[in-house]
Amino acid sequence: MTPIARSRFALVHLTSPWPAVLHDQRTVMPGWVRSSLTALLCLAALDSTLIAEEKASRKEGRDESWQVIYMQGARIGYGHVATETRTDGEGNTIIATDVLNHMVISRFGQKLTITVRQHTEETEDGRLLGFRMVMDNPPLASTTTTGRVEGDVIHVTTKTGEKTTESTTEFDPEVKSPAWQDRQLAENPLGKGDQKSFDMYDPSMNRTVTVTLTGHGVVETELLDGTIVEAEKVTIKNSVVPGLVISNFVDEDGEVLKSEMNLLQTVTYTVDKETALEELGSETLDLAIETLVRVDPIQNAAEATEIVYRIQVAGGDAASHFASGNTQSIEEISDDEIELTVKSIKPESAKGDEAAPDAGYLESTRFLECTDPRVAEHAAQAAGDLEDPVRIAVAMETYVYSEMREKNYETGLATAAEVAESMAGDCTEHSVLLAAMLRAKEIPSRVAVGLVYSPKVSAFAGHMWTEAFLNGEWVPLDATLGRGGIGATHIKVTDSSLDEDAPTPVTAFLPMMHLLGQMTIEVVSAE
């Protein structure tokens, strides 16, 4: 995964911090957050090649550094960055950077371990030549993505277990590698008020992003041992998640001493190897609990057909963080506050006039393998002799709800084929299996990401569900509940077709990640 700006964080694919048997004993929360969070953490650490390692770009040899990663004040893992410079057979300087990030968190007491390794090669002026990224998220099969640039195209191959997908897309050969940023800062430090932008390829998202660096001058900051030092502050923003800000604190030698990310109080410190590899304590950070959004109890929440919420988002632009459509409407109160009206739509009452979605919502993709024999078998069993798409969709929702044998929070972002075999997982796994089964019966589908209310704890938690295109409109289905559609307690942030040609699923979910710890919700009315 690549860091959105080599910042000291490693955004690997964490899958949801919120698992969930929260709003219903059969409901399971999202693996996507684990994935996105990981990708967000990598965003901060994974491609965070140390600025200090610029020294390696000037001479043959190897340089390395270690980091320790904290979230919400708890140590969750470590990072390692190594840079090696060599000369190829034609006399060209090649800079290779290896980044390792290892993190351990819990979700409602169940431990989740994620390890991401990334290798990039680039020219001395930062042009990307190739990369290899490996993500281990047991018990899922390891995922390996490799890419190589040839002229004005990039070839990308992804292998998960026994499945391999390949793509070739247009590529600007001047686009920079994830490791280039730090060398630039070392050679051309930013003064207070200075700003610099450039395009960088992010392997974790399979896309080119625009990175913007801003200098803030010398500030005081506290290091891991409590020491207060003066350092140059540089903030880093990424075009994919503009609300995410990474702050690097750089010493006079050009080394990043510390990085902060405005997400779940995530901080990384540069330390020695022994400190980085110290064993984590027995108590791991439980993101499922830490990321709940508490509200006053909603009476008869499951039966409500319309609920009005007042939502505040720190940092402003609140309206841009939520979807609007046939189930949600937004009234902007101020830049950081909105009233969101959510209405329940049941499959049998669907009657819209939207144009049919394009073929991407019916295709088999890396995560929605609707042509997989196991997925097709489940689809056939669920649909039986039914012919009406509405009845098939409801039957499939009920089938997945009933047949998922193990509701757990340990699975990462599994594919539909993997779920069809294991029949285990959380809301992420429920949603991708249902979406793939719908496509197997020629019903357009996509996944939705947002929040759902849990009456057990009077709080909203991250969630993923499925949407089917029925009778001219997108209709929500939640296979973790199996109620024939959803009520007004699902707040939608975004959706994704998980199209094969689109960036990785993590990209679609990153907007949700920015809301973690940044919003409050008040129930105005429910009926």
**What are residue 451's DSSP bridge partners?**
462, 491
Instruction: Give the C-alpha separation, 430 to 419, whole Å.
Output: 8
Sign of CA dihedral 499, 504, 507, 512: positive
Confidence (pLDDT) at 409: 55
3-class secondary structure for 161-228? CCEEEEEEEECCCCCECCCHHHHHHHHCCCCCCCEEEEEEEECCCCEEEEEEEEEEEEEEEECCCCCE
pLDDT in tens, 402-446: 998 776 555 556 889 989 998 988 888 999 999 999 999 999 999
DSSP string, 95-144: EEEEEEEEEEEEETTEEEEEEEEEEEEEETT-BEEEEEEEEE-TTSPPEE
Confidence (pLDDT) at 3: 32
Q: How far is CA 141 from CA 30, 161, 235, 409, 411, in A?
A: 18, 5, 36, 16, 10
Two tokens, residue 111 = 């431990």
Rounded to 10 degrees, the C-alpha dihedral 216/221/223/228 comes to 140
pLDDT in tens, 149-167: 999 999 999 887 777 888 8
The count of C-alpha atoms lying within 13 angstroms of the C-alpha of 363, restricted to the half-sphere facing its C-beta, is 12
| Domain boundaries of the chain, sorted by first residue | 32-288, 294-526
Instruction: Give the C-alpha separation, 204 to 330, whole Å.
Output: 32
Two tokens, residue 268 = 């990384």
Instruction: Give the C-alpha separation, 239 to 141, whole Å.
Output: 31
Q: Are strands 473-477 and 459-470 parallel, antiparallel or unpaired?
A: antiparallel
* Geometric angle at alpha carbon 506, from 503 and 508, rounded to 5°: 70
Mean pLDDT per block of 10 residues along the chain (527 residues) reads 33 36 40 47 44 41 86 90 89 91 80 88 94 83 90 91 85 90 76 93 85 95 96 90 84 88 88 91 73 89 94 90 95 96 94 92 92 97 97 98 76 80 88 97 95 91 93 96 94 87 58 77 95
Note the pTM of the prediction, 2 decimals.
Answer: 0.73
Identity of the amino acid at 353:
D
Confidence (pLDDT) at 491: 96
Confidence (pLDDT) at 215: 94
Instruction: Give the C-alpha separation, 81 to 97, whole Å.
Output: 7
Confidence (pLDDT) at 411: 54
Instruction: Give the C-alpha separation, 463 to 153, whole Å.
Output: 36
Give the other-Cβ count within 10 Å of 282's Cβ: 5
Confidence (pLDDT) at 289: 74
Sheet containing strand 328-334, strands side by side:
328-334, 337-343, 306-313, 519-526
Confidence (pLDDT) at 38: 52
Instruction: Give the C-alpha separation, 109 to 104, whole Å.
Output: 12
Residue 336 is classified by DSSP as T
Confidence (pLDDT) at 485: 92
- What architecture is domain 294-526? Roll (3.10)
